Structures are given as C-alpha cells and as structure tokens.
Amino acid sequence: MPNIKVLDMAGKEVSSIELSDAVFGITPNESAMHTMVVNYLANQRQGTQSTLTRTEVRGGGRKPWRQKGTGHARQGSTRAPQWTHGGIALGPKPRSYRFTVNKKLKRLAMKSALSTKVLDNNLIVLDSITMNEYKTKTITAMLKAVEAEGSKALIVMPEVNSFVIKSAANIPGVKTALVNTINVYDILNYDKFIVVKDAVAKIEEVYA
C-alpha cells in the first residue's frame, strides 16, 4: 500500500496514511483516462453553432442570367455556395456532442488518474482545512507551506466549506471540489492534487 504523510496547514507532518492499493496503487490505464478526458470535453460543448444553407440565405430567388448565350457559366441562384453572400455547403448545424461511457471504464479511469498522482508524487494529504473567515491569504499561505504555490492545484474537500471555496476562488490556477464532483479531467489537468484526510476515506469507500 502507498504510504503518504499527512500534513497540517502549516506544512508540518502530523501523521501518515496508508492508501488503498485498489484505488491509489493500480497501474494507470492511459487509454481509459484519454477516453474520459475526451468524454468530459465533448460533454462541455454547447453544440449551438449554426450556418445558413442556400435555402436559408435571404435573396437569390431570380435566375441571375439566362441559361445560354451569355458566355457565363450557367447559374440558377446568386445564393449558391460558390457565390459571395451565398449559403454554406456542409456547414455545422446545432447538434449534441454528448456520448456515454460505461461505469466500469469510468471507475478504471478515475483510479488510474488517482494512481498517477501518487506515482508522480503530486498527491498531498492534509489533516484538515479549518477556516472561520473569508481570507485568501490563509489559502495562499497553506499552498506555500505544502509546496504547491505557483502550481495548478485542485483542493478536494469531504463537504462544503464556503470559507475555503470563496477564499480560494481568487487564486489563479486553484480550484476547489467535493469528493462527489471530482473528475478525471480535473485530476489530470491540475499539477497538485490536495485532498483532506476525510475525503480520502470517502474516495476509497466509493472506488475500492
């Protein structure tokens, strides 16, 4: 089992924790993680882009010149795709980019992403994050103490703490999340994965 030291907000080691091999110690499956990243990004797309076809562009009802005898190529409308101000051929129309991934692959990808953070020594476990006021300086000092300052950091908490969420919101490259809202894309996208000790237990409970 991976053994990780547990730090307090001042960056001092207060204890250690043994992580589950089934969640944090597997061999990462790059294919599964790639599929989930593509799925996440595809599901974020609005799919509202739309172009006008030749039937939707205003005008062009009259034949621009007679069929034969002018020396020009035959034309039926000034709104055909080859004309300036004409319609767009094969352009995008509103559609959904969403696709689903089966649960088994989702779990494999999540465990692979978590294991990647352990292998790269980018997993930081905190004993707790206690705050009783909105103070960005407190979060900044904590990040500096755990050597995550200047890095993109994902802070995972076991439950909602508005003091932490709003205090971290102003720091560039820092995002807060709950155990039930983390995803493979965010885990891989952020350099440091900072997780509260109680949240580790919940993650192992869900994915073990």
What residue ranges define each of the domains in the chain, with the CATH number in brackets? 3-34+101-207 (3.40.1370.10)
Please compute the mean of the pLDDT values over residues 94-108 and round it to a whole number: 95
The mean-pLDDT minimum among 3-17, 48-62, 63-77 falls in: 3-17
| Type and span of the H or E element at 141 | helix 136-145
pLDDT in tens, 151-171: 899 999 999 989 999 999 989
Please compute the mean of the pLDDT values over residues 81-108 and round it to a whole number: 95
The rounded percent of the chain whose pLDDT value lies above 70 is 100
Cα–Cα distance for residue pair 198/208, rounded to 1 Å: 15
Please compute the mean of the pLDDT values over residues 84-97 and round it to a whole number: 95
The answer to whether residue 3 scores a pLDDT higher than 90 is no
The predicted structure's pLDDT at residue 54: 94
pLDDT in tens, 65-90: 999 999 999 999 999 999 999 999 99
CA torsion angle 138 143 149 155 (round to 10): -110
The answer to whether residue 1 scores a pLDDT higher than 70 is no
Computed from CA positions of residues 108, 114, 116, 119, in that sequence, does the dihedral angle turn out positive or negative?
negative
The rounded percent of the chain whose pLDDT value lies above 90 is 77
pLDDT in tens, 21-39: 899 999 999 999 999 999 9
Of the candidates 91, 111, 94, the one whose C-alpha atom is nearest the C-alpha of residue 28 is 111
User: How far, in Å, are 61, 73, 75, 203 from residue 79 at the CA level?
Assistant: 8, 15, 10, 58
Please compute the mean of the pLDDT values over residues 121-147 and round it to a whole number: 91
